[in-house]
Amino acid sequence: MNLPKTPSFNLQGKRALVTGAGRGIGLASAVALAEAGAHVTLTARSENEISSAALAIREQGWLADSKTLDVTNLEEVAQFIETSEPFDILISSAGGAKHRPALEVTEADFDFTFDLNTKSAFFVAQCVANKLIKHQLPGSLITISSQMGHVGGPNRATYCASKHAIEGFTKAMSKELGAHNIRINTLCPTFIKTPLTEPFLQDASFKAYVEDMIALKRVGEIEDIMGPAVFLASDASALITGSALMVDGGWTAY
């Protein structure tokens, strides 16, 4: 009997770009890809964080370097990707928000959230995809979206809108990139313990609300992201594109 063979999760020989890699989900994703064998380039605005992280990854015997990069500077992004070797894998993790009631959102709040979360993610993916197409290479593009890209939440109108938009362009781009054997997906976490969420989770009532909404009754850890990131980056997900991988503990099941 010829048994089927599980596709490989090994990323050896692949080059990966991770934005927002200085801390939290971005850093965890970079570590996961490096551990799986990829050569990872960590980018963020904070030079000290990414250079220290890249060094720590290399000290484990894995491959990593760093590049200080502001993803909202689209000219800088395009120049960096154009002058780099093609990246087989992208994890676009740079993001943020200014949470406030919808009736109090300012134009500056809106522009900040969309420029960082949506516009930058779109054009980073575009640049990486164009470079892959130029060299006739396959690839896997992953944007860190959110459970809030599929539901609504109080005080999160602009954040939800920015993440819903990411889900939209991911589906649309998958239709165009599929012919080039380039996959594009989103990874959608619930509340994960990171420096970004820590101030919110210190509020006992807010933490109780979050845990009540999550079927597994716990806030996520950054380690919960690492396996899904490798899965979407690897051949193990070879037929998955235009999809959202929910890592939400069951939040969106309600």
Confidence (pLDDT) at 100: 93
Full set of structural domains in the chain with CATH: 15-253 (3.40.50.720)
How many Å apart are CA 144 and CA 229, to the nearest integer? Answer: 9
The identity of residue 180, as a single letter, is H
Please identify every residue annotated as catalytic. Answer: 159
**107, 49 in Cβ contact below 8 A?**
no
Tell me: the pLDDT tens digits for 93-107? Answer: 999 988 999 999 999
Confidence (pLDDT) at 199: 87
Confidence (pLDDT) at 4: 96
How many Å apart are CA 248 and CA 219, to the nearest integer? Answer: 9
Is 0.85 surpassed by the pTM of this model? yes
**2, 228 in Cβ contact below 8 A?**
no
Tell me: the pLDDT tens digits for 160-175? Answer: 999 999 999 999 999 9
**192, 221 in Cβ contact below 8 A?**
yes
Confidence (pLDDT) at 3: 96
- Distant-in-sequence, close-in-space partners of 21: CB < 8 Å, separation ≥ 6: 27, 29, 30, 40, 42, 43, 44, 50, 53, 66, 93
Tell me: the pLDDT tens digits for 68-119? Answer: 999 999 999 999 999 999 999 999 999 998 899 999 999 999 999 999 999 9
Q: Would you state the structure tokens that stand for residue 121, as one six-digit string?
A: 């993610």
